[in-house]
Amino acid sequence: MSTQGEKSASFPATPSRPSMPSWYGDLLDSVAERFSAGSRRAVSAVNAELLTTYWHVGQDILDRQRRKGWGAAVIDRLSADLRERFPSAKGFSPRNLRYIRAFADAWDEPAILQAPLAELPWFHHTVLLDKLNAPDVRLWYATAALREGWSGRFLALQIDAALHSRRGKAVSNFSATMPAEASSGLQELTKDPYLFDFLDATDTRNERVVERALVDHVGEFLLELGQGFAFVGKQVRLIVGGEEFFCDLLFYHLRLRRFVVIELKAVPFQPGFLGQLGLYMAAVDDLLAAPEDGRTIGLLLCRSKNNVIAEYALRTMSAPIGVANWTEAITTSLPEDLTATLPSIEELEAELSTEPSANEPPSAS
């Protein structure tokens, strides 16, 4: 209990925002951005330093292996000794040391000091090493992962789905119907074929069944479409000239600020499909789009198509449309640069399970 003349403890109240001067909001934004940018730079610097360290460690291991010749026992011993010397540190498992060696073998030092490699987390690098052997393809996926903020697991899914051989490959008339600065970006949004491997046992001969399945799996569908797509609805009702029409699937692209009408066909491409799609696009422009929205884009997904016929048919269209195939699985042979991979960890361990004799040449694995 306080006595007369003593002051009781108190805590100063935080001044209210309305009492702050008019420039306070700008100060808050500036300080917050500086902290945010500083944190990003700190994380990036730590990541780059880790990758540089790993690369030099891997080069040391490779150099000794090539000059001296030794097997898995050395890496296992090295792993145990490093963990004993640095008990609180991680990354010294035999598996990770083999990744470090493969990392050094895959890239030269200038490459790992520059974006995108310097900014990708280590797990992303292990995915690239596990699944790809061609440096140019690895770099393509590294760039895409950094630009689009992919997690390591999502990066693995995109590699398994052969994204680099599908992105931007739809037949379209974008260059003829859109400004030059917009057409290349729109083309990059497309794929061919679109991969709906989540359909499983769906009867893919029936368009309505497939359409319902896509909506039921709208999360996976949006992932396949790519970043920026928001689902608006299926069988969207449009009244034109007093008659009802229903577009299969309607999306809105948040970055491009425009609607995207998708028509799904369970049969090969026919030129007449374009007229139907063009009608839906014009109706969406007039009935749904806001004045600030860009022109609606159309995407026609067919079971198969003759590219030459599709290109000729698109020449007659003034609306921006892309035509692509869709499939439940990538069934054609993948490019050699995609299927070729580094040996698995198990293969490496089997190959290096015994020390070479003094008469054997150094191992090149």
CATH number at residue 56: 1.10.10
**Which domain-ending residue is among 160, 189, 222?**
160
Cα separation, 365 vs 62, whole angstroms: 9
For residues 187 and 312, membership in a common domain is answered with yes
For residues 153 and 272, membership in a common domain is answered with no
The answer to whether position 106 is within a domain reads: yes
Does the model's pTM come out above 0.95? no
Residue-level pLDDT at 264: 93
For residues 260 and 119, membership in a common domain is answered with no
Q: Are 173 and 315 in contact (CB under 8 A)?
A: yes
For residues 181 and 250, membership in a common domain is answered with yes
Q: Would you say residue 3 has pLDDT above 60?
A: no
Q: Would you say residue 343 has pLDDT above 70?
A: no
Residue-level pLDDT at 351: 40
Mean pLDDT of 215-233: 92
Check residue 149 and give left, alpha or beta (phi > 0: left; psi -120 to 50: alpha). Answer: left
Listed ranges 43-47, 162-166, 213-217; the one with the highest mean pLDDT: 162-166
Q: What is the DSSP letter of 297?
A: E
**Which domain-ending residue is among 112, 140, 160?**
160
Rg from Cα positions in the chain: 28
Residue-level pLDDT at 184: 87
Cα separation, 174 vs 164, whole angstroms: 20
For residues 142 and 249, membership in a common domain is answered with no
For residues 303 and 215, membership in a common domain is answered with yes
In the chain, DSSP finds a helix count (H) and a strand count (E) of 15, 7
Residue-level pLDDT at 347: 43
pLDDT band at residue 359 under the 50/70/90 scheme: very low
For residues 141 and 194, membership in a common domain is answered with no
Percentage of the residues of the chain whose pLDDT score is greater than 90: 55
The mean pLDDT value of the chain amounts to 83
Percentage of the residues of the chain whose pLDDT score is greater than 70: 81
For residues 120 and 139, membership in a common domain is answered with yes
For residues 173 and 211, membership in a common domain is answered with yes
For residues 274 and 170, membership in a common domain is answered with yes
The answer to whether position 362 is within a domain reads: no
Cα separation, 182 vs 284, whole angstroms: 20
Cα separation, 226 vs 299, whole angstroms: 14
Domain range holding 107? 37-160
pLDDT band at residue 78 under the 50/70/90 scheme: confident
Cα separation, 128 vs 116, whole angstroms: 13
Total domain count, the chain:
2
Q: Would you say residue 191 has pLDDT above 80?
A: yes
Instruction: Write the single-letter amino acid at 274.
Output: L
Cα separation, 262 vs 234, whole angstroms: 10
For residues 147 and 186, membership in a common domain is answered with no
For residues 190 and 256, membership in a common domain is answered with yes
Which is higher by pLDDT, 165 or 22?
165
Residue-level pLDDT at 333: 42
